Amino acid sequence: MPAEHAAIIGAGVAGLTAALALAKRGIRSEIFEQAPAMNEVGAGLQVSPNATRILAKLDVLERLTKVWVEPRAIRLISGKSLRRLATVPAGEFARARWGSPYGVLHRATLQQALLDAVEEAPLCTLHLGARADGRALPDCTRAPDILIGADGVWSQVRHAIEDSPAPRFSGNIAYRFTVSATGAPSFLDRDCVSAFLGPSAHLVCYPLNETGSFNMVAIVAGNSAPHYWLSQPTGAQRQQMTSRFARWNDALRALFAQADDMTFWPLYETTRGKWHNGKDTVLIGDAAHAMMPFAAQGAAMAIEDGYELATFVATRPVPEALSLFEAHRVPRINRLRQRGALNQFAYHARGPIRIGRDLVLSLKPPESLAADLDWIYGYRATG
């Protein structure tokens, strides 16, 4: 029989989305989060139309559109010359082409909007300060029909699944910092998402209404590192980043030198593996398929996972639903991994390849670049 009661480990984007989607289908859930409080951690997020379409169905989108920035375009720019290479229109164009908006906001804003919706949903119960890995569920009101591991790249739930994905260092480091919107240089467009491309590195920036600043993320190749994040970079780590941008435009390099809130974030991904145990336990979000941010789809895939899992478990016996869910989701995740790898190659190109990349991008009209994203942004989740 279909599930009636779910236990969800992790109250991040994937877990909270799953709880709301299950509630929409009449399924009760209990969410177990080890943190004693939902703190405002993280940085900015891009939320694309494939995800905002789901958030609208879950009555969450309106909570976001009141505070986010809806950029008019996504720009690709040379990190050496600051010359614009290509533009993908967004704003009203995104609403018209993909049927839902594209927004940028702080991760905490999305987290809080989902949390507020969960707390308002009678079928959802949130347990904070509850360490749970599936073997023990403190304060759970009844034995769940399904256990959902939404506990991130370092998931504990995955240990209950044979041949499940394993975390590994990607070879990339993200350095995050902010630049105040007041007095920011003009090449930081207040209405756009901007990706500056250069040899072996790239820098993404976009405005955040909530903080009155630009969210800045520099991604470079780096050495293996411990699995922590949001720490201050050491002098050596900061020097490593600086060396990657040595041949970049001086105005951009000055932003790095002035950053006093920089954090160091080794990027981990997961290998491929089974997402479920064939019976009652399943992984979603980063626990199942943590990937690099080169396609800016991490949060969107967590939202898609949570929503589509609820669709399957609401209509079929749980073991069958889990098999169908994995078979349905894996091809899309694999295709996005491939797209991310292609973007990394293109964004970090050097020498003649970089010159060829710039030429190809300059010849592509905005509508053609948008069409390349139809399969991502135009996706309509099952259910």
Give the tens place of pLDDT for each residue, 15-47: 999 999 999 999 999 999 988 777 766 688 999
| pLDDT greater than 70 at residue 227 | no
Domain assignment present for 154: yes
Domain assignment present for 83: no
pTM score, two decimals? 0.95
Q: What is the pLDDT of residue 376?
A: 97
| pLDDT greater than 70 at residue 7 | yes
What integer is the mean pLDDT of 352-364? 81
Domain assignment present for 378: no
Give residue for tokens 């009203």: 92
If you write DSSP's letter for every residue of 268-326 in order, what string do you get? Answer: EEE----SB-SSSEEE-THHHH---GGGS-HHHHHHHHHHHHHHHHTTS-HHHHHHHHH
| pLDDT greater than 70 at residue 226 | no
Domain of 281 in residue numbering reads as 5-70+101-167+270-345
Total domains in the fold of the chain: 1
pLDDT cut 90: percent of the chain above it:
73
| pLDDT greater than 70 at residue 231 | yes
Label residue 277 by pLDDT band (50, 70, 90). very high
| pLDDT greater than 80 at residue 132 | no
Write out the two tokens for 60: 């969450």
Buried b (16+ CB within 10 A) or exposed e, 141-174: eeebbbbbbbbbbebbbbebbeebbebebbebbb
Domain assignment present for 106: yes
Q: Which is higher by pLDDT, 209 or 353?
A: 209
Q: What is the pLDDT of residue 116?
A: 97
- Indicate which CATH number applies to the domain containing 142: 3.50.50.60
Least confident interval from 172-176, 228-232, 238-242, 330-334: 228-232
Label residue 358 by pLDDT band (50, 70, 90). confident
Domain assignment present for 121: yes
What integer is the mean pLDDT of 292-296? 93
Domain assignment present for 324: yes
Label residue 237 by pLDDT band (50, 70, 90). confident
Domain assignment present for 44: yes
Domain assignment present for 265: no
Identify which of 47-61, 134-148, 165-179, 238-252 has the greatest average pLDDT.
47-61
Q: Strand 28-33 to strand 44-47: parallel, antiparallel, or no bridges (unpaired)?
A: unpaired
What would the pLDDT profile of 156-199 be if each residue is shown by its tens digit?
999 999 999 999 999 999 999 999 999 899 999 999 999 999 88
If you write DSSP's letter for every residue of 179-205 in order, what string do you get? Answer: EESTT--TTS-TTEEEEEEETTEEEEE
Q: What is the pLDDT of residue 261?
A: 86
| pLDDT greater than 70 at residue 366 | yes
Check if the beta carbon of residue 160 is closer than 8 Å to that of residue 285.
no
